[in-house]
Amino acid sequence: MALAKEIMGISLVEKSSVISSSKVFLNPNFYQKENQLCVNRQFQGRRNLRTRRVLRQSPMAAISENLIKVVPEKAVKFKVRAVVTVRNKNKEDLKETIVKHLDAFTDKFGRNVSLELISTDIDPNTKGPKKSNQAVLKDWSKKSNLKTERVNYTAEFVVDSNFGTPGAITVTNKHQQEFFLESITIEGFACGPVHFPCNSWVQSKKDHPGKRIFFSNQPYLPNETPAGLKSLRERELRDLRGDGTGVRKLSDRVYDYDIYNDLGNPDKGIDFARPKLGGSNNVPYPRRCRTGRAPTDTDMSAESRVEKPKPLYVPRDEQFEESKMNAFRTGRLKAVLHNLIPSLMASISTNNHDFKGFSDIDSLYSKGLLLKLGLQDEMLKKLPLPKVVSSIQEGDLLKYDTPKILSKDRFAWLRDDEFARQAIAGVNPVNIERLQVFPPVSKLDPEIYGTQESALKEEHILGHLNGMTVQEALDANRLYIVDYHDVYLPFLDRINALDGRKAYATRTIFFLSDLGTLKPIAIELSLPQTGPSSRSKRVVTPPVDATGNWMWQLAKAHVCSNDAGVHQLVNHWLRTHACLEPFILAAHRQLSAMHPIYKLLDPHMRYTLEINALARQSLISADGVIEACFTPGRYCMEMSAAAYKNLWRFDLEGLPADLIRRGMAVPDPTQPHGLKLLIEDYPYAADGLMIWAAIEGWVRSYVNHYYPDSAQVCNDRELQAWYAESINVGHADLRNEEWWPTLATPEDLISILTTLIWLASAQHASLNFGQYPYGGYVPNRPPLMRRLIPDENDPEYAVFHDDPQKYFFSALPSLLQATKFMAVVDTLSTHSPDEEYIGDRHQPSTWTGDAEIVEAFYDFSSEIRRIEKEIDDRNADTRLRNRCGAGVLPYELLAPSSGPGVTCRGVPNSVSI
């Protein structure tokens, strides 16, 4: 209390001036000294909980408290000012423009925006929080025509000198139209400016009668909530949870759960019906955001669909901001154009459904493709898009950019070393495992799927082990595997019955060379066994002749097709998008905006609900892009659900645990990250561990600051409710699994939060932003295959033998399938202009009022910049052959920063695309 006494001493000296006149109370000299005391106090080290609680009492609160004791009858009124920052839309439609002008006109007559300031203290008379007078935003009508991105408005409050510290502010919008409130800063209190980071849409009172509540940037644990804010904290969370009933309006801010029962559309016919994911032990799945739409006419358990371009509900503040939406719409426009091009080409010749050769693929990256085909005029007639005619004529939207895989070596994709390198430095580097038993063993139930003995024998690989025996290679950690046998085999009968789909369940064996690079030495291709003597498995090995070379290329293409499906459906969609959604929903429902952990997680939740809703609408839905473009077809999401049931474990989703699970690393306390990589030049793991350690260090500083002991963790009711609801409701189908981590200690919390932030940022980035750079050249990474590999007894063998290149292209996706896939992964690989990257924060200096935490965050940002420099250095190190060499792409998918567009680098804070 020494500081409070010091302040009190100043206030006694100034007492007569303070009491006699509010003008003197606002004397700049008085404020200069008071604000300096406030700053000094903010930056004192917070070493324990008791110290932190003392520090949270602001100088103004101390002044007010003592003034009440000394001269309660002479408390005076004084003015404080609010600076309110509103973000304008760049583009408005006609209706929005008309309503905006109407609001500007009626604002003059009382249909305005009003604010009310709320203290952290209780009013002894009303027994409720102290409140200021209502204040109205000034100059709304005068500034309505400003075209700037942000407009600052002001309002003035009159408060008593015993008002205390402002902790919340309410906003009432009496206009007809919503507006985006970015921030509010209150000036005039002795402790200096008080910041309210808002970043929210404020709806019209006619649509949402209640007042919007915004809290200051001062974080509080639930049991430390000032008395004046307790009821507001609880009320705001109740509003966000809703009551679980009714159809959600697009303007709502309600977070609730539902199962995936909206992917199919049975009203269109049986072919469009899809199983419901979640809510059963047979088909478990994480929960998604509830919309409350009516059921379909033909299936009461299926939710009716909202088809694009109509928007699908997510809470209003989760919707894309304008720059993000514009970038996404541009991507959709490109998808339309890219799909129309092959349609027009196909209309000229019925034989134009397949690529005829590599030149056909190369032409997709050529400028002026329509002009070359003589179709430009026809194209423009078919597109009712006058605003983009100039861009179309320039050709910007008509060509595909050359994928990065072709940038250094156009034929790199054909090489075995590149095929292997992409298993550890490509877009899906998370499935490779150390082979511990040879031959590999299936875990499928033999009573259901029959004997699953591998066809791989020692003689298949012995000649590729540099003179080692198989056991010696195993013992020396030189054999690795990418094994998709158990993932695909249960679905193969149904997949291969689909038109234009042919697939195997593959296993690929790799040998680690003395140079630290991998080479593929055998590929096993499995089909379901149709009878006791049926030939359901075959092994393909590196070629020794021309025929063997084409067989080997086809086998690698089938492996890549398997890999593309698992990458998209399991590693990318399930493990980052879908499995994070319940944690995000629970955070909004159970953690107050003033909770320190909410403030930590906030940037890592941005846009995820919106991009997941868009995926349900057009990507993972019945007959959507994923079904159309990937091998499993209509069984894509069933395969994803099977992986959730059999493979996903939250406790193994962190990078170190995942590497150890796959046998790619072993615990080693002498190493910088506590483990040793068995392939030292494993770019994804080597770079990822640096980012993991940086995240963990930042989270550790943050958690230890607010939770000095386990009691604080266990007694935090909001924190415990968030984690319990994430599991018991959000992941309800797996809630009884024993592997869920407990949340009882600060160390538990550090581990859980680090995993979540890792998944939302670096893990997602490593799996997403390389999709077009690697997959945009379809032969490198075909998302589906249309033909099996013929043997000499098959009728197709003669076709293959006579023209192997033609057979190879007929096995790849068709022209229409390929260009549709390319357009989609181009959009998914694109960074928007408003992307926020790891180490960055919106409003970096005001998102929290805790100075020590701000300082710790800047340390984290500095570490991220250091890591980026280290990654650049590694990519220039010729000793690291998996990321540096003639024609070898650098590994930049975990390089933290990026510009907009398709860059094959950049780690955004959140799953935002």
Residues carrying an active site annotation:
572, 577, 764, 768, 913
Torsion angle, CA of 765/769/773/774, rounded to 10 degrees? 50
Q: What are phi and psi of 173, to 5 degrees?
A: -105, 105
Q: What are phi and psi of 842, to 5 degrees?
A: -65, 135
SS3 for 385-453, per residue?
CHHHHHHHHHCCCCCCCCCHHHCCCCCHHHCHHHHHHHHHHCCCCCCCEECCCCCCCCCCCHHHHCCCC
- What is the Cα–Cα distance from 796 to 725, expressed in whole angstroms? 56
Contact of 620 with 573, CB cutoff 8 Å: yes
Single-letter amino acid code for the residue at 674: G
Q: In terms of DSSP bridges, do strands 212-215 and 257-258 run parallel, antiparallel, or are they unpaired?
A: unpaired
Spell 315-346 as b/e; 16+ CB within 10 A means b: bbbbbbbbebebbbebbbbbbebbebbbeebe
Q: In terms of DSSP bridges, do strands 150-160 and 129-136 run parallel, antiparallel, or are they unpaired?
A: unpaired
Contact of 198 with 183, CB cutoff 8 Å: yes
Report which of 518, 526, 522, 519 is spatially closest to residue 508, judged by C-alpha positions: 522
Around 1, how many Cα atoms within 13 Å sit in the side-chain half-sphere? 6
**One-character DSSP codes across 485-544:** HHHHGGGHHHHHTSTT----EEEEEEEE-TTS-EEEEEEEEE----STT---EEEE---S
Beta bridge partners of 384: none
Contact of 147 with 94, CB cutoff 8 Å: no
**One-character DSSP codes across 865-899:** HHHHHHHHHHHT-TT-TTTSSTTPPP--TT-S---
Contact of 711 with 859, CB cutoff 8 Å: no
Report which of 855, 233, 844 is spatially closest to residue 594, judged by C-alpha positions: 233
Outline where 776-829 has alpha helix (H): 797-802, 804-811, 815-828
What is the token pair recorded at 142? 């005068």
- What are the percentages of helix, strand and coil residues in the chain, rounded to 5? 45, 15, 40
- What is the Cα–Cα distance from 66 to 116, expressed in whole angstroms? 25
- Burial class of residue 815 in the structure, from the number of CB atoms within 10 Å of its CB (0-12 exposed, 13-18 middle, 19+ buried): buried
What is the token pair recorded at 555? 């086998």
Contact of 864 with 694, CB cutoff 8 Å: yes
- What is the Cα–Cα distance from 433 to 93, expressed in whole angstroms? 53
- What is the Cα–Cα distance from 248 to 398, expressed in whole angstroms? 38
